Structure 1
């Protein structure tokens, strides 16, 4: 799906945007490597995984799922992937699950099976259309994905300008501008 690859590229290019999105300092990104892992049984491929670069740390790993289409079986899959991953890799770090939705209406909660798990502090659901304004280039790019067509081009232009002003690394600047253009197309 297009949004999966956009978010994968976004979190790979601007990993701080993920941490700012979940309410943690973007500086935390320097302690993590963003990747995608396949869990061998049934060949599950996770949307994304933020794994601490220091496995001896108290930092959790984050399983990230981006879901832009309603899927009744989503939480069955996420928690299956999580527990298969835990069994297969036996990480020393604790876990967190972050599910990113464009709107609350896309979520299919399955409260009967997963109600208790969804209330755990380890599970965070983010609805992009409900995000409060955050002064972060990365989060603003994330929000561009759900920006209405009428305003998306203007917002994208503004983000390109911010990128050119805020970033001095030309290669990083070009990568982020390319990402913004990909979202708009």
Structure 2
């Protein structure tokens, strides 16, 4: 995954981030979009489209590598968009996000007037403030550009802030923190990252990762047992399906299960199967599964 795609995920999930970056009140109704300009090979990845034609359209670009023709391309894309979609806005602004000043192109000619105008805002992430002081959505930008050695501690700090601060859509913040860390630590699974960051079972269950994986396993299992459900009766078939969901989730985490353990799980009543499905999120090894079974009435 390219780093700039992480920024565009953040803008798509939390569009107010752009306006926080500019130090402005967030207007209502803006939609973040990626717009293909069909008459050319141009594509603008970051466009904040106003809700009505009286608003301002914002163009946003993330630029992490120095490109001494960047402004030529960027302004060409902008002015083509202005020509094609003039009926959709009344004014325009542009934002370029750099990791630091050294990533910006050296010469601005012949676009110096535009570069230095009120229409272009240049943001240097190493100058916007500290993780502790920034709003969470802007702190996520800082996290994206951190060195690998610093990232785990910084990510845990941001994870803790999602618990202690009044954060809109905390599950989105959790998902974005996890995705950013995965970008750096490709050898870790998403679940390992979530655990490394200290997220609780309830926080895990609110993430798209948990919902997707659990839904995927349930769909796989129910596709296999659907015929048996019809033949055996609804209640018995559904109980068998829940048991298979738990067994498959355990295999995904710990590999093949001992035969005795699998048999014990198959003998559990439906209410214990449901309890085990939630409890296994906290297990780190099979010994904890055995211990849970011993404690369960």
User: One fold, TM greater than 0.5?
Assistant: yes
Question: 3-state SS of the aligned residue for 1:80?
Answer: helix
4+ residue segments displaced more than 4 Å: none
* RMSD of equivalent CA atoms: 1.8
- Relative contact order, CA 8 A, sep 6+: which one is greater? 1
Give the Cα–Cα distance (whole angstroms) in 2 for the partners of residues 109 and 93 of structure 1: 32
Cα distance in 2, alignment partners of residues 107 and 72 from structure 1 = 8
* Distance across 2 between alignment mates of 1:127 and 1:179: 21
Deviation by residue 1:85-143 (Cα, 9 ceiling, x = unmatched): 01111133211110001111011043221111101101011010111345311111111
Q: State the alpha-carbon separation in 1 of the partners of residues 156 and 42 from structure 2.
A: 37
Aligned residue number for residue 149 of structure 2: 150
Query: Is residue 96 of structure 1 aligned with residue 93 of structure 2?
Result: yes
1:44-70 Cα offsets, whole Å, 9 max, x none, are: 1112011111223xx311000001111
Show structure 1 runs of 5+ residues with no match.
none
Task: Extract unaligned runs of 5+ from structure 2.
Answer: 183-297
Structure richer in helix, relative to its length: 2
Q: Distance in 2 between matches of 1:181 and 1:112?
A: 41
Q: Mapping of 1:21-170 within 5 angstroms? A: 21-25=21-25, 27-28=26-27, 30-56=28-54, 59-90=55-86, 91-133=88-130, 134-166=133-165
Task: State the aligned residue count.
Answer: 179
2:75 & 2:108 partners in 1: Cα distance?
A: 14
Is the Cα contact below 8 Å between 2:52 and 2:89 reproduced in 1?
no
1:100, 1:127 within 8 Å by CA — same for their partners in 2? yes
Q: Aligned partners of 2:33 and 2:47: how far apart in 1? A: 5
What is the CA–CA distance in structure 2 between the aligned matches of 1:71 and 1:89, rounded to whole Å?
27
Matches of 2:115 and 2:153 in 1, distance apart?
Answer: 36
Tell me which structure has the larger Cα radius of gyration. Answer: 2
1 or 2, which has the higher strand percentage? 1
